[in-house]
Homo-oligomer: A and B are copies of this chain.
Amino acid sequence: MFLRNCWYVAATESEVGLQPLARTLLGRPVLLYRTGGGKAVALEDRCCHRNLPLSMGAREGDDIRCGYHGLKFAPDGNCVEIPGQTQIPPGTQVTSYPLIEKWNFIWIWMGDPALRNDTLLPDWRCLDDQPGLTRTMGNDGKPLPMQCHWELNNDNLLDLTHVVYVHADTLGGAGLDRFPITTERLPRAVRMMRWSENVTPPPLLAQLAKYNGAIVDRWQATLCELPSHCTIDAGFGPPGEIGRDGDWDKGVRLRALITATPETETTSFMFYQQVRNFAVGNAEISKRFIANIRDIFLDDVHVMEGQQRTNSARPDAPRIEIRADAPLIAMHRVIEQYAAKESAAG
């Protein structure tokens, strides 16, 4: 059902505090909280005694006490107290999931603990603090809930032609589809790129960056890493000045880091941040930008939820492929390979 041996974003850093946060991830109820020292903890959200969600209990020191009969669980998932008895039976424990806090997100490993591999985080170093860039958290620190399968988000971001139709007034632009896309297949990822010359700039970015040129050279690139971690690199500059293989930071450049974490088979969470090299440090622009991007992504969610309704109603309806699908088809293959591998490993 889900790729398990990889990292997912479980929450943004600001969502998780001393109070337990309940969230279903990969079909499993999970409880997130922080210890007194500020360390994030993720536990299976059910007491192994009578199945009450532990999120209905309370943090007590660094531990969680069940709200039904008072069993207390430590951050490692082991029960450390059963009121009324001194002995704790073997197996009195809940799953504790490994977490990494990085780039303002809390990443969770819900697969085989023995296979945990921290190098499988996506390469999102553009989120590190650095001069000349301003980072904004999408949707003010909360994910967007989506009533659709997580993989539709990969599909959406690996075919950016959709900006012409779904985001015409903000990220669209005339002429994009005249230019071919390239597809690069990597072992655990797919890279899509389109370089368009002498086209119109994306209206929203031109406006926020106060760019007045009517015609630009423009790039759209997506790196989609297993399972659902997408880096969108998009921007533009005066015709002829930057070049497909030139320094994109000379132009108006936006990177959007977007990932979909499955909640169930047909619902998911979209987490995202943006990094821009224009209006750097401008809080007013940041505020507008966060609101604009949220509206844009809600349009994407609307589309993906529409697809999901058809997918659910007509799972076997025949479908065709177009040229622009090459990157997403390549990514489907990568996911299928890893799913088969996990399935074979039991």
Contacts and interface: CB of A to CB of B under 8 A. Distances in A.
A111 interface: no
Please give the count of copies of this chain that the complex contains: 3
Nearest to A324: B84
Interface in A52-67: 52-53, 56, 65-67
Interface string A269-295: 000000000000000000000000000
A48 B319 contact: yes
A322 B84 contact: yes
A51 B161 contact: no
Nearest to A56: B306
A68 B303 contact: yes
A313 B84 contact: no
Given A52-B306, A56-B303, A310-B53, A178 B84 contact: yes
B84 A311 contact: no
Contact of A48 (B28, B67, B89, B320): B320
A50 interface: yes
A91 B319 CA distance: 9
Contacts of A166: 67-68
A125 interface: no
A341 interface: no
Contacts of A177: 70, 83-84
A89 B51 contact: no
A92 interface: yes
A307 interface: yes
Interface in A126-177: 155, 159, 161-162, 164-166, 177
